[in-house]
Amino acid sequence: MNAIISASDLANDLTGANPPVLLDVRWQLTAAKAAGEPPYDGRADYETGHLPGAVFVDLDRELASAPGEGGRHPLPDLAHFGAAMRRAGVSSGTPVVVYDGGQGWAAARAWWMLRWTGHPDVRVLDGGLPAWEGSLDKSVPAPAEGDFVPEPGTGLLDADAAAELARSGVLLDARAGERYRGEVEPIDPVAGHIPGAVSAPTTENVGADGRYRSAQELRERFKGLGVSEGSRIGVYCGSGVSAAHEVLALAVAGIPAELYVGSWSEWSSDPDRPVAVGPDPQ
């Protein structure tokens, strides 16, 4: 099963015998704002128009727990996550399609959470809301309660496992290159990267239209970053959101990968962990 779906294929599936549950996960990384400027409100954007039948999912409250020692977007309590998914109508036997405002990071986080906790059929709308050519709806649906019960799976890295993978496999850093090199750090306490990690900005997974590059193009991209057949692959970013986008890109390419959810926000909070700077992985 492909991890992404085109807008035209989604439109067809919505008229089929087993239409997918739609989840709208509009979200933006909100850095410090000038006094009085409100943070981005994904729910408000959702209420101005969304795919018909889509249910809003709050990344910060339902796909993550409160910031802390585990980073800025640590894993949510699974009972809380499961309740949110069931309220949205998610059942184990029903396909799910997730979308966001077009960047793809938030949708990928929802995709990863559902796949990691055992849902068998989850895809991301390629290109997000801007790719949708159908009508939009402002009404808030009230879907029937779903039956999905999340169970933790494999493919999750902690800090120690990420450090080991950087030595024994390929650990990809999905942040912008200047953050990897330690030239700037707008959010976290220390600039740089995990020693041994390879710079692999998420922005290079997509074309100018915001849609994922072809599977072949992505395979070539990751091959150039040191990924070979049989390699063990891990990905991290700032807080485990854009890294999920990279895990999804690897899935499109047919390459399994693990996610370090705590990512740089957790790693850099511990002064005893080593930090590398510059373009060289070490």
Catalytic residues: 237
CA 14 remoteness from chain centre = 24
Among the residues of 25-153, which ranges form H helices?
A: 42-48, 59-62, 78-87, 105-116
Q: Return d(Cα 264, Cα 192) in angstroms, integer.
A: 9
Residue of 144, 139, 123 whose CA lies nearest to 50: 139
Cβ contact 45:120 at 8 Å: no
- Length of the chain, please? 282
Give the contacts of 26 (CB within 8 A, at least 6 positions apart): 42, 43, 45, 46, 56, 100, 101, 106, 129
